[in-house]
Structure 1
Amino acid sequence: MDQNSVELQAERILELLKEKHVSTIVLSGKSGSGKTWMARKAGLLAVKKKVVDITLWISLSIRHDETSLYEHIAHQLSLLSTSVELENYDIQEVENNVGKEETLESLKEKVRARLSTDNVLQGVLVILDDEGNKMREGDGGLEQVLHSIQQNSHNHSTTAADGDGQQKLKVLITSRNEDGRHQTQGGKEVVEMMPLTPEMSIMLLKQGAVAKVFEIPGVESVVAKFINRKTDLAPGEVSLLAKLLSYHQQVSELQGQEHTLEEAWYGDNYNCTQLLLSGYEKVSDGVLVDFSGQGSHFFRDNGSIHYSELISYWILEGYLGPVNSLEEAYKEGHRILMHLMDCQMLKEVNDDFVHMVRVTGDVSYRHRRGYGGTTNLGLANVLVKSNDWQGIGKLTKVDGMIRTLGSYKRVQQSLTLLLDGNCLSRENPNNLLLSNQELQILGLFSLEIVSLPHSFNNFKKLNVLVLRDCDFLEKIDDIRELMTLTVLEVSSSGLVKSMPKNFFQHLKKLRSLHFSDFQIEVMPDSFYHLTELSWLILKRFSHLTKLQSLKESQNLMVIDLSGAASLPTFPERT
């Protein structure tokens, strides 16, 4: 294959977009063959060369209805505010807009007007990515939207031929096409995605910042040897390798580069997680295990997730380390998010939503607790089958706190509030919590409190409660009245010396329990009747001398008793 094969393939797609008779182009190939990568490149090139005016991207890895499709299109056309833009407004102004929602008809009208011939001179390119995953060409809602864009209206037709008869709507599809339903015929052209040659891969690697790596004597031969072991590298895999090699460009020794590449290779599997673990800008192994772990996972299996929800999930799980400042933790989460997008482990869907891509390779052996890694709560695993769990929801940063984005309450299923000590030092905790009594998820980090605020008694819908690094906390008795709790963490509270015997009596829905550093010798009697419990962490309970049978907790998946130095035997489960 010629060294310019990638550019030639992009140019070929561009020429097909110019063809009068071609309405649909399908990039066909196996998973990882570079279809999405090429679609992005072709879309950017089409706009740059003025083949089309607008490119619209629709990911079919999630199932859309007609309304959500129009919302995604409207966001891309800047007809609706994104959450990033909303974060720049005063939160009260945002909340005042609750209820002022776009109807389907108003969305349609805005899109029609934006895509009218007054605004679109060359044409519109709609990219349908990952077709055949959750949706495919011809599905009802999708077909209606494409037909509407095609027909637009009687007076604003984007489909009417221009002066030389060229169609103004083009569709570019990426698909595995495993059933062969896409064939070149009529107005459809199928383009088979071909793998890169080793020479082309090396050429791509030498572009950009990674070129400095090749200044190290002997690196090119080492990298070439590595690439030759896999003859069907996709452009996306090469981009990933380039990014990860750039992480290691500070390593001046050839041996270090060779070791890094060897660590990343497991038989026929390209293990990007291993490279991320070893890079100088490391990604938490707790984050990575979510991509390579087995079994069900709420955020990985749910199609797409808003970036702020994913970062907040990492904070709640403790993936980002101790939280002295939510502002700093959020920044770290955003840094990791961008790295994962660069490495194509997160695929941008649209409108600030990303999709987690399951990757090969197992990083669980790197975890000090094996299954579950550094996970504190197991939210994505424990609650994945829960009918009342709808995720964390879109969030925003406001005055040092992270909270539910007010203007998205129509699609919000959870009301979330995360606070740190810096925020509560400026406000009375009782007053702040009293104004948020509808909360379903509450996280309090590094608070200098001895007991819980009185307002805790008013939470009637609280589903998840996290009290982390509250070093001065002595009493947690009020938690026993929170009957709706399914997830509870009180960690790093070394001054808690006792709990009432009936502490868990009303917490019958509890599925995940994480306590650490308590000075108690025995667990309350009611603890042994938690029939729904599946995630149990009692860490650094150095004074614990006895733990009875856990036979009533038949759903237990994870048990962590690390640091229970005074516990003579492991409890029976059955």
Structure 2
Amino acid sequence: MGTQEKKKDQITREEIVKKIMESLGQDGVASRTVLVGEAGIGKTWLAKEVSKRVTQETSSSYNVLWLHLNKMIGEEKSLYENLASQLSLFPEYEEGEEHSEIVDSLESLKKKIKDEIINFHNEKKNLLLVLDDEGSMTTETHVMKELKLQQFLEQHSTTLKTLVTKRDEGEDKGSTKMIKVTPLTEDESRHLLSNSQKLLESLTVEDWPVLLQSLCKNGEIKEPTLMSCIVSKSKGLPAAIVVLTKSLDSIKSLSAKQRKIFKELILSSKSLDAASASKNAVDRNRYNPVLRLSYELLKPDETVKSPVIACFWHVLDFYKHCGCAYYRDLIVHWMLEGYFDPVKSVEKAYQEGHSILMEFMNRGILKIQEDNMVVPEISMSNLLDLQDCGFFGRSRLGFNRVYGGNKTKGFGRIILIDDMIKTIQSKDKKLTTIMVSGNRLRREVPRKFFEKPEMQDLEVVVLFEPTFQDLVESLSTLKKLRVLVIRDCDLIQNIDKLMSLKGLHTLEVSGASSLVNISDDFFKNMTELQSLNLSGLAIKSSPSSIEQLSMLRCFILRDCSELQDLPNFNVETKKLEVIDIH
């Protein structure tokens, strides 16, 4: 049976690449091209293909620079550090080695980059700047105009050509050329699936051949094969096909439950897709049964307790609020949200997180950028509403909303060592972050642990099941703390001394079954507090000063069985997004 003809409004990937190449224009003439299309449609792939072709052509006249705008680039220095890293102007950081802080001034960075670009244009006429995922965390206007990157590059390169990828089709007056990226043709979809053909054939057993024949007879698919079904249901979305093929390759065979969901989503009439989309999809028009299947295949067996689904939804929520993440930071965020609780060993919890992260990468759910930064396949965010899938009920802090991709509010450069996660130290630097379990703390002299000179600049302290009674007094002296988590410490009877920590953005005191009272004015001076978790306490009344926390975004109060009242949140707490009380 012949291949379905290409629809009139569809063009092949090769045709789109040629169109982009043509839009770049002649050597020596500045240009700006914008690729627009929905998440997962292949904009970044096309930009990479164009970058490869313009630099690999015989007698190429191009050099290429990339900026991923799915990270927060707030000020000039972070912008030029990004560029310097891409140009390999910083020594590469190796896992586990002592790390010296980068101390280049902004002017020093600019000079190094300028010299490199001048070397470029002694050999090449054109500099192609790719601005990928524009508007997700940082805008083109901010980088090019407000941080004056356009002026800087035009001063030091012969000709600047800009290629922008973005999801939003909104008004774009500065565009020389806007190219809408369309879905794959049927041939291209089949080609992406070709490596899975034998596996798909092996799955076509039981009543599946009969169902396929019926769908073919009704004209819903071109030929009675599983490949034809997947091509049809994928809607030409490259991400849907890539994630499914990687997922199938990862699991090799299907359980009875997985076969059932496969059958419901893929071997069903298209008329049923609308009903599935209307149940809980974020955007019905972008509901994709093939992506939904990949999500369902990710779910562990019901007999296995696994945080994999909580981690999956966290990744998407993280990207929405913070953009891309350094892979190690993402695992630490999962630990902070309690997905691996109870944590007896920080190292074991981290390793569990690392195995989940690698599983996501193997399945195409996470993709890697330069410098070990990872991003999710964002098209999967259309599958289910986060509230419908119970995501917030699994999280302990909602720290994504506090962090927001701002590295000054994060953990710093961290490393796993000696069953602790802490800041990577150069010889003269003090610790700013430490995560440690009670089991590990037993090897220390409890009272003196936080009194060490290197601990006095701590900004982030996360303690899992700590077991020493002088804990609160020791922590109360750490005046630079932004994040304090004391999880599952049943020895704590009083936390009043923590009132002195006025700079806290995030506070969790949970599982403290001996804590029966918190002073009414405890939060009076914590004006910057944005996330608060007071779960598993024996308190009977909630401090009224909570009601005055005008910056509060997440409030979690679970399993306080003695509690007789609740805070009266009013106008003061107008930023509150998540209230979890049960």
Q: Note whether the superposition's TM-score is higher than 0.5.
A: yes
Task: Measure the CA separation in 1 of the matches of 2:62 and 2:104.
Answer: 26
Shift of 1:444: 0.7
Shift of 1:383: 7.7
Of 212, 223, 233, the match for 2:199? 212
Of 460, 473, 479, the match for 2:479? 460
Task: Measure the CA separation in 1 of the matches of 2:247 and 2:30.
Answer: 38
Shift of 1:355: 5.7
Tell me the amino acid that sits aligned with residue 228 of structure 1.
S
Shift of 1:144: 2.2
Where does 1:483-562 land on structure 2 (aligned, <5 Å)? Answer: 483-494=502-513, 496=514, 498-499=516-517, 504=522, 509=527, 512-518=531-537, 520=538, 522-523=540-541, 526=543, 530-532=547-549, 535-542=554-561, 544=562, 546-548=563-565, 550-551=567-568, 555=573, 558-562=578-582
Match of 2:339 in 1: 319
Match of 1:570 in 2: none
Match of 2:130 in 1: 127
User: Which secondary structure state, in structure 2, belongs to the residue aligned with residue 268 of structure 1?
Assistant: helix
Task: Note if contact 2:494-2:518 (Cα within 8 Å) is conserved in structure 1.
Answer: no
Match of 1:428 in 2: 445
Shift of 1:211: 5.7
User: Which secondary structure state, in structure 1, belongs to the residue aligned with residue 65 of structure 2?
Assistant: strand
Shift of 1:70: 2.6
Task: Measure the CA separation in 2 of the matches of 1:276 and 1:235.
Answer: 16
Tell me: CA distance 1:16–1:215, structure 2 relative to 1, closer, same or farther (3 Å).
farther
TM-score (norm 1): 0.72
Task: Measure the CA separation in 2 of the matches of 1:132 and 1:557.
Answer: 23
Match of 1:566 in 2: none
Tell me the amino acid that sits aligned with residue 174 of structure 1.
T
- Would you say 1:31 and 2:22 are equivalent positions? no
- Would you say 1:57 and 2:57 are equivalent positions? no
Of 225, 232, 236, the match for 2:229? 225
User: Which secondary structure state, in structure 2, belongs to the residue aligned with residue 522 of structure 1?
Assistant: coil
Match of 1:108 in 2: 110
User: Which secondary structure state, in structure 1, belongs to the residue aligned with residue 51 of structure 2?
Assistant: helix
Shift of 1:382: 6.4
The superposition leaves residues 127-179 of structure 1 with CA deviations (integer Å, 9 ceiling, x where unpaired) of: 2223466115963622123314514xxxxxxx6xxxxxxxxx75433356643
Tell me: CA distance 1:523–1:308, structure 2 relative to 1, closer, same or farther (3 Å).
same
Aligned residues: 517
The superposition leaves residues 437-474 of structure 1 with CA deviations (integer Å, 9 ceiling, x where unpaired) of: 23232101133334416422312232321112446656
- Select between 480-489 and 72-81 the one with higher mean Cα deviation: 480-489
Match of 1:179 in 2: 171
Of Structure 1 and Structure 2, the greater helix share is in 2
- Would you say 1:257 and 2:262 are equivalent positions? yes
Gaps of 5+ in 2: 209-223, 278-283, 301-305
Match of 1:163 in 2: none
Match of 1:379 in 2: 399
User: Which secondary structure state, in structure 1, belongs to the residue aligned with residue 548 of structure 2?
Assistant: coil
Shift of 1:352: 4.5
Task: Note if contact 2:63-2:120 (Cα within 8 Å) is conserved in structure 1.
Answer: no
Match of 1:77 in 2: 87
Shift of 1:318: 1.4
The superposition leaves residues 388-412 of structure 1 with CA deviations (integer Å, 9 ceiling, x where unpaired) of: 99521433115232234557x99x9
Shift of 1:374: 0.8
Tell me the amino acid that sits aligned with residue 82 of structure 2.
H
Of 142, 147, 172, the match for 2:149? 142
Task: Note if contact 1:213-1:246 (Cα within 8 Å) is conserved in structure 2.
Answer: no
Task: Note if contact 1:535-1:558 (Cα within 8 Å) is conserved in structure 2.
Answer: yes
The superposition leaves residues 361-381 of structure 1 with CA deviations (integer Å, 9 ceiling, x where unpaired) of: 3244665xx472211122334
Task: Note if contact 2:314-2:391 (Cα within 8 Å) is conserved in structure 1.
Answer: no
Tell me: CA distance 1:194–1:454, structure 2 relative to 1, closer, same or farther (3 Å).
closer
User: Which secondary structure state, in structure 2, belongs to the residue aligned with residue 40 of structure 1?
Assistant: helix
Task: Note if contact 2:532-2:556 (Cα within 8 Å) is conserved in structure 1.
Answer: yes
Q: How many percent identity over aligned positions?
A: 27
Of 152, 177, 181, the match for 1:193? 181
Task: Measure the CA separation in 1 of the matches of 2:186 and 2:104.
Answer: 51
Tell me the amino acid that sits aligned with residue 504 of structure 1.
F
Shift of 1:285: 3.8
- Would you say 1:417 and 2:407 are equivalent positions? no
Tell me: CA distance 1:171–1:250, structure 2 relative to 1, closer, same or farther (3 Å).
same
- Select between 214-223 and 16-25 the one with higher mean Cα deviation: 16-25
Task: Note if contact 1:470-1:492 (Cα within 8 Å) is conserved in structure 2.
Answer: yes
Shift of 1:40: 2.0
User: Which secondary structure state, in structure 1, belongs to the residue aligned with residue 522 of structure 2?
Assistant: coil
Task: Measure the CA separation in 1 of the matches of 2:415 and 2:52.
Answer: 32
Match of 2:220 in 1: none
Tell me the amino acid that sits aligned with residue 392 of structure 1.
G
Task: Measure the CA separation in 1 of the matches of 2:445 and 2:200.
Answer: 54
Task: Note if contact 2:422-2:435 (Cα within 8 Å) is conserved in structure 1.
Answer: yes
